Amino acid sequence: MERKSFQLGDIVQMKKQHPCGSNEMEIIRMGMDIRIKCVGCKHSVLIPRAKFEKNMKKVLRSVEEDTQS
Protein backbone atom coordinates (compact mmCIF):
# COMPACT_ATOMS: atom_id res chain seq x y z
CA MET A 1 0.00 0.00 0.00
CA GLU A 2 1.29 3.45 -0.93
CA ARG A 3 2.01 5.87 1.92
CA LYS A 4 0.05 9.10 1.85
CA SER A 5 2.22 12.18 1.34
CA PHE A 6 1.58 15.26 3.45
CA GLN A 7 3.68 17.93 5.07
CA LEU A 8 3.58 20.65 7.68
CA GLY A 9 1.01 23.35 6.88
CA ASP A 10 -1.14 21.24 4.53
CA ILE A 11 -4.94 21.39 4.75
CA VAL A 12 -6.29 17.82 4.76
CA GLN A 13 -9.77 16.31 4.62
CA MET A 14 -10.56 13.74 7.30
CA LYS A 15 -13.03 10.84 7.05
CA LYS A 16 -14.99 11.97 10.11
CA GLN A 17 -16.17 15.50 10.80
CA HIS A 18 -15.05 17.48 13.82
CA PRO A 19 -17.94 18.17 16.25
CA CYS A 20 -18.11 21.76 14.92
CA GLY A 21 -19.11 20.38 11.49
CA SER A 22 -15.87 20.93 9.55
CA ASN A 23 -13.81 18.03 8.20
CA GLU A 24 -10.87 20.21 7.08
CA MET A 25 -7.78 20.18 9.29
CA GLU A 26 -4.43 21.95 9.10
CA ILE A 27 -1.28 20.02 10.04
CA ILE A 28 0.59 22.15 12.60
CA ARG A 29 3.08 19.62 14.08
CA MET A 30 4.63 16.41 12.76
CA GLY A 31 6.58 13.62 14.41
CA MET A 32 5.55 10.30 15.94
CA ASP A 33 2.30 12.12 16.75
CA ILE A 34 0.63 14.67 14.50
CA ARG A 35 -1.13 17.81 15.78
CA ILE A 36 -3.96 18.99 13.57
CA LYS A 37 -6.02 22.16 13.94
CA CYS A 38 -9.66 22.40 12.83
CA VAL A 39 -10.08 25.04 10.11
CA GLY A 40 -13.61 25.79 11.36
CA CYS A 41 -13.22 26.35 15.11
CA LYS A 42 -9.38 26.41 15.52
CA HIS A 43 -9.41 23.55 18.08
CA SER A 44 -6.23 21.44 17.94
CA VAL A 45 -5.89 17.70 18.53
CA LEU A 46 -2.78 15.50 18.94
CA ILE A 47 -3.18 12.01 17.43
CA PRO A 48 -0.75 9.16 16.66
CA ARG A 49 0.64 9.16 13.11
CA ALA A 50 -0.82 5.71 12.28
CA LYS A 51 -4.33 6.82 13.27
CA PHE A 52 -3.95 10.08 11.33
CA GLU A 53 -2.84 8.27 8.16
CA LYS A 54 -5.77 5.86 8.48
CA ASN A 55 -8.35 8.63 8.98
CA MET A 56 -7.02 11.11 6.39
CA LYS A 57 -8.95 11.11 3.09
CA LYS A 58 -6.90 13.49 0.95
CA VAL A 59 -4.80 16.66 0.89
CA LEU A 60 -7.01 19.59 -0.11
CA ARG A 61 -4.40 22.38 -0.21
CA SER A 62 -0.68 21.73 -0.07
CA VAL A 63 1.89 24.25 1.12
CA GLU A 64 4.09 23.13 -1.79
CA GLU A 65 1.40 24.22 -4.32
CA ASP A 66 1.01 27.62 -2.63
CA THR A 67 4.75 28.40 -2.77
CA GLN A 68 5.00 27.53 -6.49
CA SER A 69 2.19 29.88 -7.58
| SS3 of the chain: helix, strand, coil, percent, to 5 | 20, 40, 40
E strand or H helix at 66: helix 63-68
Residues 1-43 have pLDDT tens digits of: 556 789 999 999 999 998 999 999 999 999 999 999 999 999 9
* Residue 69 pLDDT grade (very low, low, confident, very high; cuts 50, 70, 90): low
Helix (H) or strand (E) holding 55: helix 49-55
Look at residue 65 and tell me whether its pLDDT is greater than 80.
no
* Domain range list for the chain: 10-57
